[in-house]
Structure 1
Amino acid sequence: MQIGLAVGDVRGPATLATVVNQVRVAADSGFATAWASQALGWDALTALAVAGATSDIAVGTAVVPAPQRHPLMLAGQALTAQAAVTGPLTLGVGAGIGAMVSGMFGLPTDRPVRRMREYLSVLGPLLRGDSVDHHGETLTAVGAVLIPGGIPAPSVVLAALGPHMLRLAGELTDGTATWMTGPKTLAEHIVPVITKAAAEAGRASPRIIAGLPVCVTDTADDVRARIAEQFALAAQVPEYRATLDREGATGPQDVAIVGTDIEVAQALTRFRAAGVTEFMAAPYGTTAEQNRTISVLAELALTETR
């Protein structure tokens, strides 16, 4: 199981210079990938294009909500970022949190699996340099992304938690990226469903990217209380509530990895055993807490590559 490091907004307010430095630290510390999530601040792909241009590390989005970006536009953004960075790019996409998609952007959220199927059926060819002429139930896309230079198509993964979206991820993408999902749910639900779908579609074994806040600390109760407050939304929205219920968790504080260096290492072992191929660690807490966490995770990442 590879270990990657989350950068940017998910770790707290950060300037662009801070994001660039976080990616550099991830590269210098031996992490496999630097991951950026699309929140309400920096554009994830643009920030990675800037930061990844000067650090030799794989980069990825986990994830970019698709409804706000037409696939013609997202394909152009992704290929531009891939051309800029020194390592390979993983383009993680998702349907987005329904309340935000409708409430902030006024976009429809009905038939999410149908919409995503059409979206991915167009996005894949565009990333490969092909033209599309798609007139579907939920999407129209006509044209191509004309970028010279033979830019390789990024790997595409889909944020998927429910069975229908997981089957779609296995059929049409390279894997899935999860957030706030524990090892029990991964082992008993996510990994079996997507793996079966990929096999039936004749695709390679899927990438299983699991993301969680991580904090190496001697005051676990205090840290979990802060996580419960900061990530309270995840305990309320249907997209995450169903997954937390599968895990038997009250909220994000119950699935976050918090504890001593030994306890953190033991937790990561459980994710490896669950079938996770790549773990996205989001260092949590103060600067000192994050630095301590990164130091411990760097040692664990080195062990994973031996």
Structure 2
Amino acid sequence: MKLGVAAGGIGLSLDDVIGQVREAAEAGLDSAYFNQILSWDAVQLAALAAREVPGIAVGTAVTQTYPRHPLALAGQALTTQAASGNRFTLGIGPSHGPLIEKHFGLSYDRPARHIREYLSALVPLLRGEQVDYHGETLTAAGRVEVPGAEPPPVLLAALGPVMLRMAGELADGVVTVWTGPETIADHVTPAVTRAATAAGRPRPRVVAGVIVSVTADPEGVRRRVAESLGAASDLPSYRAILDRQGRSGVEETVVAGDESAVERTVRAYAEAGATELLVSPFGDERERARTLGLLAALRGRPAGRAQ
């Protein structure tokens, strides 16, 4: 299983974010991913980080589809692929109804239909093909050519059965959030793998996003996560996956404890079928340093390099 980090954070400068990616590369980690909210553009960040930090893979986990036409996103993604020397993975997702409707003024009607049509246009565009797609929710006609850019892998943010099926059938895999190892093992991995097999596609990637803190105060960490991110527990898709796991809030999915406890859970994700663990280090400066130090140790690097 590969190990990556979710880079970024509220109030960070561009140099701060690039510094996180550089730390991850020095720790021997495989990748750094960026999320799209209402701040830095995730695809552009990936391009900049790849140019500044050689070797490490970069990606989005995820960028929102509704505000970005497939032709526009294909151009962005292929540009980033060229800038990175073909080290880019494009993770996409429909986001959430309250956010898309409130911030962008767009309808969130039938997001699964939207994603099926979006991928039907986007994937051939990423291959450099001429597209003339006319669906119920979008039209895309044209071709995107970026010399030197290979088609980037596409991951779909998915938690429910319909979206997981599309992640295997139409994309290269799935990226999840708020999912423990048991849910990866008995829900995510089987669903996306069945869909990929039925569609004659290669084994899908399963990228599991998780908040991790190596700490002496795991309950304190979970309390702080609840304070800062607890509102996410009420978003419908997150509420459904939390209910499936018997969890009351997102803070209960946090991996927190000493080095040995966290390492056991990291290994449990690998055994569950995750092909890549996307870690969001959480806590104060010392806790974050311990977390990155553990990841470095798991990659055979001296922990001191990660601090």
Scaled by the length of structure 2, the TM-score of the pair is: 0.95
Instruction: Report the counterpart of residue 196 of structure 2 in structure 1.
Output: 198
Unaligned runs of 5+ in 2: 302-307
Greater mean alpha carbon deviation, residues 197-206 or residues 47-56: 47-56
1:185 paired with 2:183, answer yes
Deviates more, 1:164-173 or 1:79-88: 79-88
Q: How does 1:23-102 map to 2 (within 5 A)?
A: 23-55=21-53, 56-86=55-85, 88-102=87-101
1:138-217 alignment to 2 at 5 Å? Answer: 138-147=137-146, 149-217=147-215
| Bigger mean CA deviation after superposition, 289-298 or 198-207 | 289-298
Deviations 1:20-70 (A, max 9, x none): 111111111110111111122111111111111021211110001111100
Q: CA deviation at 1:274?
A: 1.3
Q: Which runs of 5+ in 1 are unaligned?
A: none
Residue 90 of structure 1, CA deviation: 0.5
Cα distance in 1, alignment partners of residues 208 and 11 from structure 2: 22
- Residue 5 of structure 1 is matched in structure 2 by 5
Q: Secondary structure at the match of 1:154?
A: coil
**Residue-by-residue CA offset, 1:223-247 (whole Å, 9 max, x unaligned):** 1100111111221111101101111
Partner of 2:305: none
- Residue 288 of structure 1: how far off its partner (Å): 2.3
Give the total of aligned pairs. 300
Structure 1 runs (4+) greater than 4 angstroms displaced: none
Q: CA deviation at 1:150?
A: 3.0
Which of 18, 21, 24 is matched with 1:20 structurally? 18
Show the counterpart of 1:281. Answer: 279
1:302 is displaced (CA, Å) by 3.5
RMSD (Å) for aligned C-alpha atoms: 1.2
> TM-score, with normalisation over the residues of structure 1?
0.95
Question: Match of 2:298, SS?
Answer: helix
Q: Residue deviations 1:205-262, cap 9 Å, x none? A: 1100000111000011111100111111221111101101111111111111111000
Letter in 2 for 1:50: L
Checking the alignment, whether the CA contact within 8 Å between 1:52 and 1:87 is kept in structure 2 is: no
Percent of matched pairs sharing the same residue = 48
The structural deviation recorded for 1:13 is: 2.7
For 1:259 and 1:196, locate their aligned partners in 2 and report how far apart those are by CA, in whole Å: 34
AA of the residue aligned to 1:65: Q
SS in 2 for 1:302: coil
Could you tell me which amino acid in structure 2 is paired with residue 193 of structure 1?
Answer: A
Question: Displacement of 1:87 after TM fit?
Answer: 5.2
Structure 2 letter corresponding to 1:199: T
